Amino acid sequence: DQQVKQNSPSLSVQEGRISILNCDYTNSMFDYFLWYKKYPAEGPTFLISISSIKDKNEDGRFTVFLNKSAKHLSLHIVPSQPGDSAVYFCAASAGSNYQLIWGAGTKLIIKP
């Protein structure tokens, strides 16, 4: 049973528009969430994170929103750029355990 779910395998967005990637989780013990980006033939790279004590964290064009009551988080990218085309993974961790539980990823395609 997947504890972290990314229900959209792919998403296509026009360049300059907002990209919204979604992630749902089932374990209420998760208290830290991360987004990673992965290009083909490379390992995932850390993008942005959020602690469960916050509901929003922003870094440049990237903003992550956390809705604990809905067990849902989202990553907003605005404006979307061609270099944002990649697979995005959501990951979560519980307590001081440094292990991460991963979603299956969403492939984001930015159209020119």
Partner 1 sequence: ETGVTQTPRHLVMGMTNKKSLKCEQHLGHNAMYWYKQSAKKPLELMFVYNFKEQTENNSVPSRFSPECPNSSHLFLHLHTLQPEDSALYLCASSQGGTYDSYEQYFGPGTRLTVT
Which residues bind to partner 1, rule: CB under 8 A?
Answer: 2, 4, 9, 32, 34, 41-46, 49, 89, 93, 96, 98-105
Nearest to partner 1 of 33, 63 (CB atom): 33
Q: What is the C-alpha to C-alpha distance for residues 48 and 64, in angstroms, rounded to an integer?
A: 7
- Looking at beta carbons only, is 14 or 27 nearer to partner 1? 27
Of 53 and 112, which has the nearer Cβ to partner 1? 53
Q: How far is the CB of 70 from partner 1 (least distance, A)?
A: 21
Give me the least distance between CB of 33 and partner 1, in Å please.
Answer: 9
**Closer CB to partner 1, residue 69 or residue 99?**
99
The answer to whether 73 touches 64, Cβ cutoff 8 Å, is yes
Q: What does the longest C-alpha to C-alpha distance in the chain come to? A: 42
Least gap, CB of 79 to partner 1 (angstroms): 26
Contact 54, 48 (CB under 8 A): no
Question: Quick one: residue 31, left, alpha or beta (phi over 0 = left, psi -120 to 50 = alpha)?
Answer: alpha
Unique residue bearing structure tokens 């991460």: 100
Question: What minimum distance in Å lies between the beta carbon of 24 and partner 1?
Answer: 13
How far apart are the C-alpha atoms of 96 and 46, rounded to whole Å?
Answer: 19
